[in-house]
Amino acid sequence: MREGQEAAQLLEWYDGHARVLPWRVSPADRMAGVRPDPYAVWLSEVMLQQTTVAAVKSYFERFTLLWPTVEALARAEDAQVMGEWAGLGYYARARNLLKCARVVTQAHGGRFPQTAEALQALPGIGPYTAAAIAAIAFDAPEVVVDGNVERVMARVFDIRTPMPAAKTEMKAAAAQLTPRGRPGDYAQAVMDLGATVCTPKSPACGICPWMGICKARRAGVQAELPVKAPKKEKPTRLGIAYVVRRTDGAWLLERRPDKGLLGGMLGWPGSDWGEDPQPHPPLEADWDILTEEARHTFTHFHLRLKIAIAVVDTGATPARGAFIDKHAFRPSDLPTVMRKVLDLSHGRLTEIH
């Protein structure tokens, strides 16, 4: 790594054009000696995995209002955290968020380790997140490479190897430009450059601080990079969700296994999800099948859930799950796909109740 003119040019641009984000210390405040809060950096980076900045802002603000410190988050109830996470997807991140908060609180006295190596030993923190926290929160000269940075490097260095095979090449390119001075600001500067100037479509090369060194721009191929391998078509899986309400208003719910998709989340009892799901009702009832399906897209597949609903007496005994009193039931505790099922069920349940 070397301190170079390229990094200085980008940092000068960042000082005047940095995005205002709720978890970020501005360049001016940083110059005045304000240190980034490692908790805020960690929380934002975990939330931003596979999610956009626009989607994360309100979640981050709500989380830090409810749990302003890592110790407060460590004391939180799992169900409440999972409920607040609903909509961000990838629920394994929320489970690891709690695990990490508790390890930091119990094993590290509420202080995050300062090196990427030590950070990566914590639950849910991989190489990218560890490098980002070390650089941004502790000014460690780490090479931080997210999707925005990959796009910038592909264009600056005219890397035409298709993704994801190009990742190693892109990280090596990023390492050439990463400075030892202000590494945290530099990491955020490259991210901002990719998010606001070197965008996926129609990059604004005319206002880019790196247009003079951009090899792809000189070759006229900047809009074509990075090259992406053809995406595989997502398969569609089918399933059945059973929505049961007791005559006293209680709802039948079950908690999914900790491991796997939507692990640890509350949901409606259901069948398997596959090409030919087999009926698996949680109790005997007069089931009413809705004509409309709940549809949801996960990372690797599309899901279509047939919805079966029933109203049962207070003496009904389910083989799976448990009834939750209507006053204790919070739709916000359900993952998005399960809330879609509830929304579609409400009208029909009112009719047959």
Q: How far apart are the first and last CA of the chain?
A: 69
Asked whether the predicted pLDDT for residue 116 surpasses 90, the reply is yes
In the prediction, which pLDDT does 92 show?
86
Asked whether the predicted pLDDT for residue 3 surpasses 70, the reply is no
Asked whether the predicted pLDDT for residue 332 surpasses 90, the reply is no
What the block records as the tokens of 17 is 């054009």
Q: Are 181 and 198 in contact (CB under 8 A)?
A: no
User: So which residues are the catalytic ones?
Assistant: 45
**H or E element that contains 177:** helix 167-177
Calculated CA dihedral for residues 8, 13, 19, 23, nearest 10 degrees: 20
pTM score > 0.85 for this model? no
Tell me how far CA of residue 192 lies from CA of 120, 145, 196, 247, 274, in angstroms. Answer: 24, 12, 6, 54, 41
CATH number belonging to the domain at 238-352, selected among 3.20.20.10, 3.90.79.10, 3.20.20.150, 3.40.30.20: 3.90.79.10
208-230 CB burial, b ≥16 within 10 A, e <16: bbbbebbebbeeeebeebbeeee
Question: Is-same-fold flag (5-224; 238-352)?
Answer: no
Task: Round the average pLDDT of the chain to a whole number and report it.
Answer: 93
Express as a percent the part of the chain with pLDDT over 70: 98
In the prediction, which pLDDT does 312 show?
95
Q: Are 98 and 104 in contact (CB under 8 A)?
A: no
For residue range 267-317, list pLDDT tens digits in order: 999 999 999 999 999 999 999 999 999 999 988 899 999 999 999 999 999
What the block records as the tokens of 157 is 């260095």
In the prediction, which pLDDT does 175 show?
95
Q: Are 305 and 271 in contact (CB under 8 A)?
A: no
Picking from 309, 294, 185, 312, the residue whose alpha carbon sits closest to that of residue 243 is 309
Q: Phi, psi at residue 38, to the nearest 5°?
A: -55, -35
CATH architecture for residues 5-224: Orthogonal Bundle (1.10)
In the prediction, which pLDDT does 2 show?
41
In the prediction, which pLDDT does 151 show?
97
Domain ranges of the chain: 5-224, 238-352
Split at pLDDT 50, 70, 90, the class of 1 is: very low
